[in-house]
C-alpha cells in the first residue's frame, strides 16, 4: 500500500522510525513535511498528488468526516499526577469543579477525576461541541467540555501542557480557572488573562474603525475552509460601502499579508485561534467575524451620530 504519514510539529521527530517500521511490512511510505497543527489540516491533497491509498495522521483524533482513507493514530502521554496534591490549595473553597484536558492525556482523566472526588470535590465532566470527540477533551477551537458546564461549576481545572488549550476554554467561560502544568510542576490561576484578552480585542476593534479595505482570510485546509462565511462577510462589507477581497492560502504567511499594503484590516475565517494568538504578526488589525460585526456596528453608530448633528 502507498501511505503518506503526517505528524504534528511535536511528533515530526518520529517520522523516520515510523516510516521504516511500515516499510518493513512492505508498504511504500512517504512523509508529509508541511506544517500541521491539528486534524483540521489533513494532507489529503498531498496524498492524492502522490497517489497514496491512505493517509496516517498522528497525534490527533478525528476532527470531521472526509472523503479519503485516513487512519488516526493518537499519541498518549502519561503526565505525572503528583502535582494534583498541590492544586488542592488553589481549589480550596470550590466544591464543584470541571476538568478538561487534551487528547494526549484523556486516558488519565478518570484518575484525575478520582483524585479530586477522594478529596471531597464534586466533579462534572462536560461534553465537547463536536470537533473534539471525548468528554472532557478540548481543542483550541472546541472548548465545549468547559463552556457547556460553566453554569454548573464553581471553578474549572485544566490538566496538561502549555497555555494554548486552556486559553480557549478560559475565554469562553466565566468561572475561576486553574491551569495545572504537570511537566513544569506548576499550578496557576489564569483568570486574569480574560481581561487582558478582552482589552486586546477591544484595541483591535478600535484600530479597525477607520478601515475601508478589508482582506478576508480563507484557508484551504479541509477542516478550516469556510468560503460561505467569507462570501457573507464580503457582501456585508460591500453593503456598508466598503471594499473587500477574499484572500486564499493553505497556511497564511504573515509576511505576505503584511506586503498587501492596500488592506486596512484583515478578517479571519480560518482557525479561530489565528485572530486571537497571531494578532501581533500582522501590521493591520486581524479581526474575527464577530469583531468585524462590532466594527461595522460602531461605524454605523458614528455615521448616524454625524448625520443627526
Ligand atoms: S484550534 Fe485551529 S489548528 Fe487546532 S484543531 Fe482547531 S482549527 Fe485546527
Residue to substitute in 59, 139, 163, 251 for testing ligand 1 pocket (most ligand atoms within 8 angstroms of CB) = 139
* Alpha carbons within 13 A on the beta-carbon side of 193: 19
48-105 residue pLDDT tens: 999 999 999 999 999 999 999 999 998 999 999 999 999 999 999 999 999 999 999 9
Query: How does strand 243-249 pair with strand 54-58?
Result: unpaired
Q: pLDDT over 70 for what percent of the chain? A: 100
Cα 263 to ligand 1 centre (Å): 26
Cβ neighbours, 10 Å, residue 269: 24
Q: Examine domains 2-73 and 198-307 and report if their fold is the same.
A: yes
**CA 223 to ligand 1 centroid distance, Å:** 8
In angstroms, rounded to a whole number, what is the distance separating the alpha carbons of residues 155 and 141? Answer: 21
Q: Which among 201, 213, 209 has a CA at the least distance from the CA of 272?
A: 201
pLDDT band at 306 (very low <50, low <70, confident <90, very high): confident
Contacts of 37 (CB under 8 A, 6+ apart): 8, 9, 271
> What pLDDT is attached to residue 308?
77
Mutual angle of helices 83-90 and 109-118, in 10-degree steps: 50
Residue 37 Cβ contacting ligand 1 at under 6 Å: yes
Nearest CA to ligand 1 atom 6: 141
Interacting residues of 261 by C-beta distance below 8 A, sequence separation 6+: none
Residue 59 Cα to ligand 1 midpoint, Å, equals: 13
Q: What is the pLDDT of residues 261-279, one digit of tens each?
A: 999 999 999 999 999 999 9
Task: Return the CATH architecture of domain 2-73.
Answer: 3-Layer(aba) Sandwich (3.40)
CATH topology of domain 198-307: Rossmann fold (3.40.50)
Instruction: Specify the CATH superfamily of domain 83-191.
Output: Diphthamide synthesis DPH1/DPH2 domain 2 (3.40.50.11850)
Average pLDDT of the residues of the chain: 96
139 lines ligand 1 (CB under 6 A): yes
140 lines ligand 1 (CB under 6 A): yes
Asked whether residue 309 carries a pLDDT value surpassing 80, the answer given is no
Q: Can you give 40-86 as a three-state secondary structure string?
A: CCCCHHHHHHCCCCEEEEECCCCCCCCCCCEEEECCCCCCCCCHHHH
In the chain, what are the domain boundaries? 2-73, 83-191, 198-307
Distance CA 204, CA 58 (A): 36
169 Cα: distance to centroid of ligand 1 (angstroms): 13
The reply to whether ligand 1 has any atom less than 6 angstroms from the CB of 38 is yes
Residue nearest to atom 5 of ligand 1 (CA): 38
pTM of the model: 0.93
Joined together, the cell numbers standing for residue 181 give 502544568
The Cα 295–Cα 202 span in angstroms is 10
Amino acid at each position: 500500500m502507498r501511505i503518506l504519514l503526517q505528524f504534528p510539529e511535536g511528533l515530526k521527530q518520529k517520522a523516520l522510525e515510523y516510516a521504516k517500521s511500515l516499510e518493513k511490512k512492505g508498504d511504500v511510505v512517504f512523509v508529509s513535511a508541511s506544517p500541521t497543527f491539528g486534524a483540521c489540516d489533513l494532507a489529503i491533497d498531498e496524498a492524492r498528488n502522490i497517489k497514496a491509498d491512505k493517509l496516517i495522521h498522528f497525534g490527533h483524533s478525528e476532527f470531521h468526516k472526509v472523503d479519503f482513507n485516513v487512519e488516526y493514530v493518537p499519541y498518549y502521554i502519561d503526565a505525572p499526577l503528583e502535582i494534583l496534591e498541590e492544586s488542592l490549595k488553589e481549589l480550596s473553597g470550590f466544591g464543584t469543579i470541571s476538568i478538561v484536558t487534551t487528547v494526549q492525556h484523556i486516558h488519565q482523566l478518570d484518575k484525575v477525576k478520582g483524585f479530586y472526588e477522594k478529596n471531597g470535590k464534586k466533579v462534572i465532566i462536560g461534553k465537547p461541541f463536536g470537533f473534539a470527540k471525548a468528554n472532557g477533551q478540548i481543542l483550541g477551537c472546541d472548548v465545549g467540555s468547559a463552556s457547556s458546564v460553566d453554569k454548573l461549576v464553581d471553578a474549572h481545572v485544566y490538566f496538561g501542557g502549555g497555555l494554548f488549550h486552556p486559553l480557549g476554554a478560559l475565554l469562553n467561560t466565566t468561572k475561576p480557572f486553574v491551569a495545572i502544568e504537570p511537566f513544569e510542576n506548576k499550578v496557576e490561576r489564569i483568570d486574569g488573562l480574560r481581561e487582558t484578552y478582552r482589552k486586546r480585542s477591544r484595541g483591535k476593534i478600535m484600530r479597525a474603525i477607520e478601515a475601508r479595505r478589508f482582506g478576508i482570510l480563507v484557508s484551504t485546509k479541509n477542516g478550516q475552509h469556510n468560503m460561505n462565511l467569507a462570501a457573507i462577510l464580503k457582501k456585508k462589507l460591500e453593503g456598508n460601502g466598503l471594499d473587500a477581497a477574499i484572500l486564499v492560502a493553505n497556511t497564511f504567511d504573515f509576511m505576505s499579508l503584511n506586503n498587501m499594503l492596500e488592506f486596512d484590516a484583515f478578517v479571519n475565517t480560518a482557525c479561530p485561534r489565528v485572530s486571537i494568538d497571531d494578532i501581533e504578526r500582522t501590521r493591520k488589525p486581524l479581526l474575527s467575524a464577530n469583531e468585524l460585526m462590532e466594527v461595522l456596528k460602531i461605524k454605523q453608530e458614528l455615521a448616524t451620530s454625524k448625520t443627526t448633528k
